[in-house]
Amino acid sequence: MADKSAEQLSVLVDGEFEEWELEFAVRRLAGDPVLKTRWEAYHLISDAFRNNLPDAVDPRFAERVSALLAAETPLPTSTRPAVPSWYKPVAGIAVAASVGVLAVALWSLRPDELHQAGGPGLAVDTATSSPTVSPLPLAEADDPAPESRNRLNSYLANHNEYASLNSVNGVLPYVRMVGYESGAYPRR
């Protein structure tokens, strides 16, 4: 197992991972102090071979930077959860347009997320909502999720068009459309 990790680390140092593997490898490296120490050692060796070493080497440099970052006071932000609830981080925005028809997929939703709107965290606020609210059961597993997702996305796109023209900063609705990278938000 240790050999496997060492091998992967070597591939990582050499920059030979595919992009999709890279993210996984970096995540693993970040969570393993032994691997991190070994990573630094490999780079030290590599730099020594290439005669790239500075006059003085601080072996705890990364550790000290991490400690300082951890001690930073976080910027004040809203106490609201940053987790999107009914629309999810953009897993992608769709492609292009033909005449008269645009293809836009905004916030991506999974079927279970779409239909758990009445579940924990998204319960209907009976104290403030209209008495006409009609809670419905959760969806069956075979619900056509992409269709539901597309319905919602097209509504959001329409809203953003109007919002962009009636906003103090007309660029923001569009930024909201493309500004969320897939996986950038934790999922609730």
Residues in region 148-167 near another protein by CB under 8 A: 148-159, 161-167
Residues 29-58 that bind another protein (CB under 8 A): none
- SS3 letters for 108-130? CCCHHHHHCCCCCCCCCCCCCCC
In the complex, what is the shortest distance from the CB of residue 79 to another protein, in angstroms, rounded to a whole number? 6
If one asks whether residue 26 binds another protein (CB under 8 A), the answer comes out as no
Residues 90-149 that bind another protein (CB under 8 A): 90-105, 107-108, 114-115, 117-118, 122-125, 128-130, 132-136, 139, 143, 146, 148-149
If one asks whether residue 168 binds another protein (CB under 8 A), the answer comes out as yes
- Give 73 or 79: the residue with its C-beta nearer to another protein: 79
- Give 54 or 100: the residue with its C-beta nearer to another protein: 100
Collapsing DSSP to helix, strand or coil, 174 comes out as: helix
Q: Are 108 and 91 in contact (CB under 8 A)?
A: yes
Q: Would you say the C-alpha torsion 94, 112, 114, 81 has a positive or negative sign?
A: negative
Q: Which of 41, 45, 65, 175 binds another protein (CB under 8 A)?
A: 175
In the complex, what is the shortest distance from the CB of residue 9 to another protein, in angstroms, rounded to a whole number? 25
If one asks whether residue 171 binds another protein (CB under 8 A), the answer comes out as yes
Question: Of the listed pieces 5-13, 24-32, 41-49, 79-87, which binds another protein according to CB under 8 A?
Answer: 79-87
Contacts 24+ apart (CB under 8 A), 147-154: 148/109, 148/111, 148/114, 148/115, 149/105, 149/108, 149/109, 149/114, 150/105, 152/86, 152/87, 152/107, 152/109, 152/114, 153/104, 153/105, 153/106, 153/107, 154/104
